[in-house]
Structure formats: C-alpha cells, structure tokens
Structure 1
Amino acid sequence: MTYKKRMAFLVLVDSLIVLTSVFLSYWFLHADLVMKFPRGLIISSIALLVSHHLFAQYFKLYKKAWEYASVPELLNISKAVTFSIAVVALAQEVTSGDMYVRILAIAWMLHLLLIGGSRFVWRVFRDTYIVKDKSKKRTLIVGAGSAGTMVARQLLKNQDSEFYPVAFVDDNERKQRLEILNIPIVGKTDAIESIVEKYEIQNVIIAIPSLNRKQVTKIFEQCTKTKAKTQIVPMLEDILEGKVSVNEFRDVQVEDLLGREPVQLDDVGIGENLTGKTILVTGAGGSIGSEICRQIMKYSPAKMVLLGHGENSIYKIEMELLNLYRDRVEITTEIADIQDRHKIFQIMEKHRPYMVYHAAAHKHVPLMERNPEEAVKNNVIGTKNVAEAADTFRVNTFVMVSTDKAVNPTSVMGATKRVAEMIVQYMDEISETRFVAVRFGNVLGSRGSVIPLFKKQIRKGGPVTVTHPDMIRYFMTIPEASRLVIQAGSLAKGGEVFVLDMGEPVKIVDLAKNLITLSGHKVEDIGIEFSGIRPGEKLFEELLGEEEVHPEQVFPKIHIGKARGINIEVIMDFITSFEGLTGLQIRERLMELAHSSHNRAQV
C-alpha cells in the first residue's frame, strides 16, 4: 500500500471511529434523543472530527509503522485523544454554555479504546501469525536486560531475520517467571541445557555485552552441551565506540573465552606522547604493528609513518587508516628492510619522529632454528640499526616489542630477542632518547600463531595437531597487547623491561578443543593428534623469573624489571663475526649471550 493510500485509509477509519464514539456516548445516556440528532451531537461530532485529525497530524499518528507499535506510540494516541476531547469541551462551553462531562468522559474512553485498538490490532496480528514463521529458528536469548530486550525487539520486527525469540534466561532472581515483549523468562543460565531441550531451541544468543570473560566461558560451556548454535552480541567497548550495534550478533570466538577484561588506559598520559606528534612504527603491516597503528590513531597524532618490508601488508594498513583518518592525520608509508642501515637512517632523518614503536621482527620459532643467521640479522642487527638511528635523530622514546621467549631462552628466536633487549637497554645508558622494551606472550590470532593453523586443520576435517598434551602458553588479544605496549611507552623513564600481565596460562590442547567446538564440530569427530615438541620449544613459557620482577604493578597489568651489567663489547664482537660461524655455532653463541649471568634482568 502506497503512502497516500495508507494515509487515506487511516483518515477514513479514524473518522468513522470519531463519529461512532460521539454517537455511542450520547446513546448510552440519551438513547431516546440520539436518533433525532440534537444540536449538541452535531457540534460535538464536527469539533471532535476536526480536532482529532489536527492532533493526529501533530503527533504523527498517520506516519507511524503500527506493526512495531509500543509504549511511545500509545502515549501519542492518548495525547491526541485527550486534546481532541478538550477541544470538544471548549466548543460545547462556547456554543451552549455548558459541558456534557459524562458524555465527554464516555467519548474519551471509547475514542481511546477504538483508536488504540485499530492501531495495535495489526501489531497483534503480525506477532501472532506473520512473525511466528515456522521456517525461523527458535531462539533463546541469554540476558533479559536492556541489550536482550533490544535484541528480542529487533528479531520480532525484522521479517527478514532467520531467528524467532521464544524465551529468555537470566540470573536475576527478580526477573524469573516474568515476560518481556510476551517472551517468558524461563530460568537461569545454569539451566540452559534443559531449557534448550524443552523449548526445542535451535539458536542461543548471549545478549549481555558487559559480561566478563569468565562469565562468557561459563555460559558457553552450558551451550556446548546442547545442539543449538551459540552467538553473542558485540563487546561493550565496540558498542560504545560506535563500531557496531547491539543486534549485530556474531559467532562466539576463542578471544571471547581466552581474552581478558580490557584495562582502562591513562589516556591523558598517552595523549601527551602521541597527540600532535610524529609517530613511526616498524613492522607496521604485522599483526601487532598494525594494531599499534590503529590504537595510536585514536590519539590524533600529527603524522603516522608506517614502515614495513612487505608491500602488501603495508598497503592494507595504509588503506584502512586512510579510509578512517584521511582528513585528520597525515599518513605516510616507507617500504624498507630494517637490516638496511643506510635506508633506516634516511627515513629517521626525513620524518624526525617523536616516538618509535619497533615491532619488526622474525618470530617463528622453528623457522628461526633452521635459519639462525637470518634471526640475528633481523632481530639483533635490525633492532640495533633502528635504535641507533633513533638516538642519532633525537627520538624522544623508543619502544621495542619483545617476547616472553626472551626469558631463559631455549630457542634462537628467543635468544635474539633477549640480545635485542640488551642492545636497547645499553642504548638507554648512552643516549638522551628513552629506550624501553615490552614483553608479552602469545597473541590470539596473530600471524604464525596456533589458532589460524588449528582453524585451517578443522576446515579440512582434522585432525588438529598439538605438540604435547601438557604444552601451556599465555595468551592475550591483539588489541589488548597493543594498547598495553602504547601504555608502557607513556610510562617509560628509560631502561625498563616492561612485562605485561598475561593472566592465567592456557593448555594448548584445551584451546584446540574450544576451537573445534566453536567451529560447530565435536572433538571426537575432528580428532586431536600429538606431534611432539619442536626444536627450541618449551612446555612452559616465562615472562620474568620470580626473582626478576616487582610484585607490584606499575600500572594495571604492567610489571617492570630492569637489567644491568650489559657487556656490550661481547655483543658487538658477536655481531661483527657471526657471519663466519656455522648455524650450530651461531646458536651456541646466542645462548651464551642470552644466559650470561651479568646480563640477567634484575629488579
């Protein structure tokens, strides 16, 4: 029905309702006179008819989508009807010198009942016969708060949605056995398994954006006992930042189960270092480097320099940032290898950055075991080049992204990162630039991590390969790791090794099981195989030894350690002579450097 036809239909219906209301109100009180159409009936009918249409236009009653009507629409109807009756009362007073109060009261009730009923009957019909499409998936909503109610309302009014809400669950005792939008609250989250079976639920939506990770995991464990698919509304921070709306629910991801609560950053302190400044990020196309760039852009730097070796990855992050910040921040790219000392110095002289975040590195443990000379060139010599260029061109702060594998390293990769830390700490001793390093463990979903590998194996039907049943790692989300790196940079006084609190370690085999379940499969169908520990790997990772770290945190989730007694001559001698060594000799020398007692981090 077109807008004009719909408008004409509603005007006609309302006109009939108005005349009927006036006629019936007179008939109830003066049945013997009403058929004679007294003067008062005619005046009241005309006054009510005109005033109703005027107020209906004013309150936009003819423009409402009544199939979605709720309390605000009912209030507008009440206002339009009440003001219309008030106009009739005034007309009666002016024309006859008297108000027919009882007639007006009955007319008001009939008018309100019939106008409201005519509007809401379509809503009732739609909810009863149209929305309850048998082809829609019966959906259980976890959380009967504002987000859950919003999700339910969206599902009810969206005819194209594949879901139909049939029940809520909520742990609030006071909400039990109540109804929201005619949808019952049928129990608490610990009863999800039985509720799914009883109500033949096909889909579960977790609609509590403020849930912490432990609560999400607890609810998800209940959902995995059923055959229903589980989805979740976006995280609260994404909703508040306007990235997504609450009804854009998605599949539960491993980050929801293993990530931790976001820490509140010191935006003022960070802003002093970033706002209006030139910032350079090496490895800007990588998982951590690109996220550091995204986080920095929120603080409105004057200029953002994206430095990387791979042109495709740099192009992607450049396009992403240009689309969002083109008019606010100058964004430029530099394709360069950090091993190219001359080019790095040229770039640093050209841009004169205030802060440098050094995230470029080789990080794949088994590959670096087989190519130790490349690990040295990139992780050690590359870091030395960038650090010395930062010193030469008076960068204010240099932040190196390190790893937990630098603690008591058993791998070439870990040893090169520890030697790189030592170079950075030595530079802090001789330079006016503040040099710091930030250590953290594995990052969920980063390139080369186990998660993309597991997902690929699951897509192929399995099995998922885990190196050892007791293999344990710390995990952190990419955004959280990047935010804390930026925060650590604002705390830098010089020479620190900042250590991010990684929370509780996770068994890799449990991670594999979660990913299989999240992918909609059963562990026994996909299967898990143990392939054995690879060269250079440990069963357990460390961030700092117990004797190396302050028990207090210098900032939520950030510890600090400090290294002394660095013998830079030994490191420089190794750098100048390593190319004449065999792979095995390089590995041995690296381990000697990384484990030498005077190079250990001390509090």
Structure 2
Amino acid sequence: MTYYNRLITLVLFDAMIVVTAVFLSYWLLNPLDEIPAFALIGGLVLLLFHYFYTAFLKQYKKAWEYVTASEMFHLFRAMAFALISTSICQLYFTHYLYLRELFITGILYMVMIGYSRLAWRVYFNPKIKRPSDNKRTLIVGAGSAGTMITSRLLKSNHIKLVPVAFVDDDKTKLGLEIFNIPVVATTNDISQVVEEYKIEHIVIAIPSLKREDMNTILSECTKTTVKTQIVPSLEEIVHGNVPINELQDIQMEDLLGRSPVQLDDKGILETIVESTILVTGAGGSIGSEICRQIMKYNPAKIVLLGHGENSIYAIEMELLEIYEDKIEIVTEIADIQDRRRMFEVMDHHRPKIVYHAAAHKHVPLMESNPKEALKNNILGTRNVADAAEGSGVNTFVMVSSDKAVNPTSIMGASKCIAEMMISYKSSSSHTKFVTVRFGNVLGSNGSVIPLFKKQIKKGGPLTVTHPEMVRYFMTIPEASRLVIQAGVLAKGGEVFVLDMGEPVKIVDFAKKLIQLSGYKVEDIGLTFTGIRPGEKLFEELLGADEVYEEQVYPKIHIGKPRDVNWHAIQDIISTYDVMSEETLKERMLCLANNRVGNEIHVS
C-alpha cells in the first residue's frame, strides 16, 4: 500500500471513529433524545483537533504494522491533546463544560483509535512461520540482538529458519518466553538442547561477545553437527559494514580463542594525521587492509603503490567511495624491482611513512622460483628502502613473516635476508627502519581458510599437509594494526612481533570448520597430502638471541637488533644471476640460518 493510500485510509477511519464515539456517548447518556447541534459541532471540533495533533506528531507517517509501545504512547498523547483542546473550545464558546459527554466520548475515542492501529498491525504484519516448513533454529542469546533476529526470522519468508528455543547465561531469563519461544537453558547445555528440541540450525546472537567467550560457545556448538551462524560483531555494525540482522557464517578468526589486539589510537593519530603515507603492495590482502586502517587517522595523502593494476584499482575505488572529498588518494602502478621507478615515486611524493607490504609469499612457489624470490623480496626491498632513505622518509616499516626464523624455505630465507638489510640500514640512517613479523594471516590471498571453505562447498575432502602441522594465526585487521603500531613505536632496527597465543593445529581448524558448517568430519573427510617443499611442521616468531623479556606494548614483543654480514648479502645479490637455482638456494639458506638462533615461541 502506498503512502497516500495509507493516509486516506487512516483519515477516513479516524473520521468514522470520532463520529461514532460522539453519537454513542450521547446515545448512552440520552437514549431517547435527538442529538443536539452542539454535540455535532463538538464532534467536528474534536475531529479537526485530532487531525492537527496526529499530523503534528507525525502519527500518519508511522508504519503501524510494526507498532511498538512508543508509537502507541505518542498516539495517545495526540488524542489527549485533541480532547483537552476540544474542552477548552467548548468552555470558551458555550461557557459550559459537558463533562459526562466529554468523558465517555474520550474513552470511546481513545479505545477505538487504539484498537484500529493494533488491528492494522495484526492484518498487515507478515504471518508467523511454522517449524514444519523451516529449519528448527536455536538462538544463543536472549538479549536485544537475539530478540531482533528472532522477530526477523519469524516474519521473513525468504529465510527458511524458525526459532524454537533460546539459551542464555542470564539465569533470570530462564523459564521466560520471548515471542512465545522459551528460554530453556544456558550456553553450557547447547548440545543437550539441540538433541531435545531437534535443532537443525544455531544462531549466535551476542554481538558484544568477547573472543574468549565466543570460543567457549563455539566449542559447545562443535559437539553437535548443526550448522552455526552468528550476527555481526559490534565493530562491523558500528562501522556500517553489515546490518545487525544479517547472519554470517562462522569465520576462522572466531576460533582464535583470544581477543584481537587493540591500537594506541592517540599515538597513531599524532603520527599519521595530515601526513603523506605510501603503501607498497597496496592491492594485496595485508596492504589493502593497512590502507583501510590508515584512512581512519586522516592522512593528508595516501599513495597506493602496486604492480597489479586490477587490485590497485579495486582498493582505490573502495577508498574513494568513502574518502574522496576528505583525503587525497593517489595510485602508482610500479614494480618494486624497478629501482629507478622507486626513486621517482619517492622523490615525487616525499612520504613521511612507508609501509612495505609488497612481496612474494607462497612457500612452494618460491621453492621452484628462487631467483624470483630474491629479486622481489630482497632486491625489491633494497630498492624501496634506498629510495625511502634518499627522499627523507621518517619511518620505514617492512612486513615480514615468521618463516624468516630458522628458515627452511626460500621464501623464509628471502624474508630473513630482507630483514638483515633493514636492520643494517637502520644503524646508519636518519630514517627509522623496522620490521614487523607475524604468522599466518586468516583469509589472506592464498591462505588455507578460503581453500577449506571451497572444499567444504564442493563436498570435501579437506586437504591438510600433515596431522601435526601447527601454525600461529592472526586476522588481517590484526596484522595491519601491528604494522601501523610499529610505525609509532619505531626507534630503528627493531623486529616487532604480535603475541598470538598458542599455535594451533591445522587439522583442528579443519575439523571445527566442518562441524560448524553443519557436517560430520567423516562425511566431508580429511586427506593428508604430506609436507610441501620448504614447509616446517611448526613456525617460530623470534630467535633465541632476539628476545627481550618485557613487552614493548601490550601484546607486542620486540626483537633485539643484531650484527649483519653485509658483505655476504652484497655478494649474493651481485652474483645470483650466474648461479644455478640449487646453488642459490643453498647459499640463501646458509646466509639466513647463520643469522638466526635457536627456536623460541612467544606466548
């Protein structure tokens, strides 16, 4: 029904109700008498005041099929104003107040108008779904988010879920009913509730839930074979990334079992605001997220540098949509292996901070292409660092990897040697050169999680390299925050490492993802493919001789700068093109491992 059709319908209904109320009140008081003229005039006055106050309080703009107590209160307030105004007019023009007639008219008028709006809601509100036609759903959380999701699910015809029970840890809610749906237990009893109520779907509706508590609830959900979804986090809702009533599949970051690292917003703001920032690899998973995070701190200009035009175009369009009139956004399509181009870009933009995220990172691919690993990760890093130093950059932050510690792969060795160069340059430069090192990034391009989801969608099996393979994990936003925070903490030569808790078995991640997708592990299946070239069963975050005992910032460790064999680095750079691939591999691994000490886990 259009707005004007609704308006005409309500105006006519209200006119009929007011006239009926006036006639009924006079008839009840004087059943044998004719209705006098003053009563008809009083009814007309009441109707005019009703229209005035109802329009003034915008009651005709309300969607009465979704009426709440607040709307009903404002409607009754408009009717009260109309009755009071009618009484004042009656007293002014007739010098007499017909209290009995006004009282009964007022009661009939308010009751009938109120019921008309409730009847509108009953008639036009979407019909409630029944469990027989939809998946029986358990709602975890009986708070505001839980009730909102429940209301939407009950009314939506295109979402084939119907709530049949709540669980909530607030024991004062146990035994209560919300929309006629009982709160039956606490979150500790999810598996029993699923069995007792024949639950086919679980929705976790607690947006403010801490990561540790989320992990506890998800552990209960994995005891079942029921698909589990969640409402968006508060951060996503506040930033407008997703509406609160949109359900999301479980993400692997929800299983990390720890709270995400927070930033020193004040320190970052003071460093970045009104500054020129350059990000290499700006189209990649980490680089693009660094750009998104930086934009929140109002730089004067951000330079998006990358080799792939499609990815740079994508992040440029995304940022322009939000910040086009606020921050200057510049793109530079350039290869970091092109030394002259790097100097041209740096000299032209003169950035205050450079975040160097461009790199080759795929371990098996770099095993087959060691010269490309050296050219991009070592020579490319040298080019960007030299250009940054030459143009007077204040801070240079290089993104590295935990694979640079005791490396067994060419990718790890190339990142380790790049770290050496950054450490060496920091000792004699006015530019503050630092490295940020972290583990596997969930959801990044080429990471295992998108592969697992794709394999589940196809029906399995999930491919895992080894049953004992463990890795440190962090989210893309966490990795990007660490990079930005390092730029604030930098004094020169440090290696910053995020405390990522305990390492996690890849096979455990795979099993949880299967179970939370609503399947049994044996139905999807797991296949062990064997460790790929260059891979290790476990990764390390700091070498033994790198560790300071204290944290430089909550959840951030710092590594000590160490001596670097600069001549060996220069020698391998100057002769790599005449070496065989096998010789180059041997020399890179030898150089990298001479630098790194014994293993140590940060926890």
What TM-score do the two structures reach when normalised by structure 2?
0.91
Instruction: List alignment gaps of at least 5 residues for structure 2.
Output: none
**Corresponding residue of 2:14:** 14
**Corresponding residue of 2:106:** 108
Check 1:133–1:512 CA distance in 2 against 1; reply closer, same or farther (3 A cut).
closer
**Corresponding residue of 1:586:** 584
CA displacement 1:256-299 (0-9 Å, x = unmatched): 22374333322222123322222222222222112112222222
**Corresponding residue of 2:493:** 495
CA displacement 1:193-248 (0-9 Å, x = unmatched): 44445555444322211112233233334444556542211121111112222112
Whether 1:301 aligns to 2:321 is no
Check 1:105–1:550 CA distance in 2 against 1; reply closer, same or farther (3 A cut).
farther
**Corresponding residue of 2:538:** 540
- C-alpha deviation, 1:131, in angstroms: 5.6
Check 1:154–1:487 CA distance in 2 against 1; reply closer, same or farther (3 A cut).
same
Matches within 5 A, 1:426-575: 426-545=424-543, 548-575=546-573
- C-alpha deviation, 1:181, in angstroms: 4.6
Q: d(CA) in 1 for partners of 2:128 and 2:139? A: 20
- Contact 1:138 1:166 survives alignment (8 Å): yes
- Contact 2:441 2:474 survives alignment (8 Å): yes
**Corresponding residue of 1:267:** 265
Q: d(CA) in 2 for partners of 1:309 and 1:70? A: 55
Identity within the alignment, %: 60
- C-alpha deviation, 1:31, in angstroms: 5.0
Q: d(CA) in 2 for partners of 1:542 and 1:325? A: 39
Matches within 5 A, 1:173-572: 173-199=171-197, 201-226=199-224, 228-258=226-256, 260-545=258-543, 548-572=546-570
Q: d(CA) in 1 for partners of 2:3 and 2:356? A: 60
CA displacement 1:525-548 (0-9 Å, x = unmatched): 221122222232221211114563
Match of 1:596, SS state, is: helix
Matches within 5 A, 1:81-92: 81-92=79-90
Determine which structure has greater relative contact order: mean sequence separation of CA pairs < 8 Å that are 6+ residues apart, divided by chain length. 2
Q: d(CA) in 2 for partners of 1:5 and 1:324? A: 38
- C-alpha deviation, 1:358, in angstroms: 1.1
Q: d(CA) in 2 for partners of 1:417 and 1:166? A: 53
Query: Could you tell which deviates more after superposition, 280-289 or 176-185?
Result: 176-185
Query: Could you tell which deviates more after superposition, 368-377 or 471-480?
Result: 368-377
Q: Which amino acid aligns with 2:118?
A: F
CA displacement 1:103-140 (0-9 Å, x = unmatched): 54443333222211111023234568466696555543
Whether 1:124 aligns to 2:130 is no
Q: Which amino acid aligns with 2:335?
A: D
What TM-score do the two structures reach when normalised by structure 1?
0.91
Check 1:125–1:98 CA distance in 2 against 1; reply closer, same or farther (3 A cut).
same
Q: Which amino acid aligns with 2:18?
A: V
Q: d(CA) in 2 for partners of 1:435 and 1:475? A: 25
Q: d(CA) in 2 for partners of 1:522 and 1:286? A: 34
Q: Which amino acid aligns with 1:458?
A: I
Q: Which amino acid aligns with 1:286?
A: G
- C-alpha deviation, 1:436, in angstroms: 0.2
Query: Could you tell which deviates more after superposition, 70-79 or 172-181?
Result: 172-181
- C-alpha deviation, 1:74, in angstroms: 0.6
Q: Which amino acid aligns with 1:319?
A: M
- Contact 1:428 1:495 survives alignment (8 Å): yes
> Aligned-residue CA RMSD in angstroms?
2.9
Q: d(CA) in 2 for partners of 1:320 and 1:9? A: 45
**Corresponding residue of 2:170:** 172
Q: Which amino acid aligns with 2:14?
A: D
CA displacement 1:378-399 (0-9 Å, x = unmatched): 2222212221222222111110
Q: Which amino acid aligns with 1:7?
A: L
Q: d(CA) in 1 for partners of 2:405 and 2:91? A: 92
Q: Which amino acid aligns with 2:148?
A: M
Match of 1:462, SS state, is: coil
- C-alpha deviation, 1:40, in angstroms: 6.2
- C-alpha deviation, 1:100, in angstroms: 4.3
Match of 1:19, SS state, is: helix
**Corresponding residue of 1:576:** 574
Q: d(CA) in 2 for partners of 1:354 and 1:280? A: 8
Q: d(CA) in 1 for partners of 2:217 and 2:440? A: 25
- C-alpha deviation, 1:327, in angstroms: 2.5
Q: Give the ranges of 4+ consecutive aligned residues of structure 1 lying more than 6 Å apart after TM superposition.
A: 598-603
- Contact 2:226 2:519 survives alignment (8 Å): no
- C-alpha deviation, 1:86, in angstroms: 1.4
Q: d(CA) in 1 for partners of 2:169 and 2:445? A: 39
CA displacement 1:37-82 (0-9 Å, x = unmatched): 3566445434433322332332333332221111122112211221
Whether 1:69 aligns to 2:67 is yes
Check 1:124–1:375 CA distance in 2 against 1; reply closer, same or farther (3 A cut).
same
CA displacement 1:1-40 (0-9 Å, x = unmatched): 5544443433333233223334444455x3555x343566
Query: Could you tell which deviates more after superposition, 585-594 or 486-495?
Result: 585-594
Of 148, 151, 159, the match for 1:150: 148
Match of 1:408, SS state, is: coil
Q: d(CA) in 2 for partners of 1:131 and 1:504? A: 45
- C-alpha deviation, 1:403, in angstroms: 0.9
- Contact 1:77 1:112 survives alignment (8 Å): no
Q: d(CA) in 1 for partners of 2:572 and 2:12? A: 93
Matches within 5 A, 1:46-65: 46-65=44-63
Query: Could you tell which deviates more after superposition, 295-304 or 436-445?
Result: 295-304
Query: Could you tell which deviates more after superposition, 13-22 or 593-602?
Result: 593-602
- C-alpha deviation, 1:333, in angstroms: 2.6
CA displacement 1:397-419 (0-9 Å, x = unmatched): 11010111111222222122111
- C-alpha deviation, 1:496, in angstroms: 0.6
Query: Could you tell which deviates more after superposition, 17-26 or 153-162?
Result: 153-162
- Contact 1:140 1:203 survives alignment (8 Å): yes
Match of 2:479, SS state, is: helix
- Contact 1:566 1:599 survives alignment (8 Å): no
Q: d(CA) in 1 for partners of 2:599 and 2:471? A: 22
Q: Which amino acid aligns with 2:314?
A: K
- C-alpha deviation, 1:482, in angstroms: 0.6
